[in-house]
Structure 1
Amino acid sequence: MRGLLLAAVMLGTVSAAHAADMPDLPILRGGFTDGLSKSSVNWDGFYVGGQWGFATTNIDFSHAPKSMSDFMLRDSILQAPVGGWSLLPKNHVQGTGFGAYVGRNWQIYDAVMGIEANYSYMNNIGSSASDSMTRILDGETGPSGHTYTYVTTLGGGASLKLKDYATFRGRVGWDGGDFMPYAFGGLAIGRAEVSRFATVSYIKHDDYDTSVTVGGVTTTTHHQDTIDTGAWSSVEQRTNAFMYGWTAGIGVEYAIYNNFLIRGEWEHVGFSNVKDIAVGLNNFRVGAGYKF
């Protein structure tokens, strides 16, 4: 018995000495240090910031004179065909912009959801176009042997300058520690300076043949008589024309010292037609903000 007791005491002494020589790892104390765990930023709360962006914009003037020509040719045989003409081009322009944003996040575990209001003032986002075209269009059904045609000319021009726009969007993000990738979508409203003009004119012809027989020889003569003409013009200009549409995009936010945030994002905005002009833009932005 005394031998067993002596052996136990010796083993305990050796084990204690060996443990004293091992490094003081935190795992041996029952936990990890902050350096071995995922760092976490509290994304919950209000935030504000400013931003700068570079935008590429498509301005489609194709049917800019349409509603004007429709009104001038209303209830006539020319209204439908002339209204379908693609008179003007689609222009691609680039420019810069700056603005601000404010929002609110709610965090549930690693999911971050929020709402945000975003404003951008645009520089040099504008374009213009003008052109004319002439076509021969079929007219009404005439008397036997007669064909009615309209030599129709449509002229027009338009210009648009996007001044600024605001978006109201929802966000969904993922807490990646110091960074948060996110996607968003919502509504957009823009303000533009728009002008356009249209001219329509036509010459109505009656084509027919007459035949004369002299001495058994028949001579056929073709005739083209002008039986009607018409011409109209219209001009419109709006200093502040509002456009409504939608927005969607993706981005990533990075937290510096927990409360200071920087971000980069891509935003697409599609506006409904304003004065028959369609506008769509892609905005690539960087920003900096503060979370309260």
Structure 2
Amino acid sequence: MYHWSQSEERLNRYAGRLEGESLSFLVHYWGTVRHLTANSIHRHSFYEICYVDGGTGVYTDENQTYPLYEGVAFCTRPGRLHQIKDVHDLNLLFVAFEAIEKPSAPDVSVKYMEALDRCAVWTEHAGESPATQIWKSMLIRSESDDSLPASLLPKLAHVLLQSFPGLLGASGSFESAPLLSSALQLIQKAKLYIRDNLSGPVSLPEVAAYLNVSERQLSRLFAESIHESFTTMVRTERIRAAELLLQHTQDPIKVIAERTGFSSVHYFTRLFTKFKGIPPAAYRAKWALEADQQE
């Protein structure tokens, strides 16, 4: 019914930064995957919302376990250890993103994230929800004449992400949610700064100065809020950015190492292999092969 790999490529190309009047989003990646394989236990520094379009599996969030089957939607929050396992023909739609603070409406993004944090981790019977119908409408159908034009994707994607609190059962509107603490707002700003400056040697003193806080305070905020050190956070972001570039560009490995702030190709290759279990070039080839097989 859908061209899965082509749908994923198109969404990642046209629906990355989603601008709204009072709320905008930065999408790190979209996924439309047939027969998803199990993954290892890991955590993100962003939100990821998933919808099961077929098959079965198990999702774990910290110490909780949730069954996966058609019609289930679930949410992974920042800093939570999670895993998808015991899969069988699992078809999954997913999107990883964060809300962006806008100077014209500085409180809306943190209220939105607070609404997501109040949501249920797992919900069933999501297949007929307006949010899921919008999501599926953005996919490329096997009958290409029935597919929506790419020019509509940014607006539809924005509506989709804005509707996630309702999809996952948040009571009321996110506009009325209480504000996040000033500490979590600082962490959010620090993350954005790190991601915008990965090509350089991002340091704790540099980010602390940007946020106008002490180095000690910033280090403590990272440890207490997302249970990671500043150094670990930067390293994770470099690996994440490199992974996306390997998936969606044909840039040489040396260029990717430079763009993501690694001091040398050798160091990049060694660190990427350590954390992903496969060298960068082999990862790119494996990802491309799996994408071709899913079409």
- 1 or 2, which has the higher helix percentage? 2
Question: Which TM-score band applies after superposition, normalised by the shorter structure?
Answer: under 0.3
Superposition TM-score, scaled by structure 1 size: 0.21
Q: Which has the larger radius of gyration?
A: 1
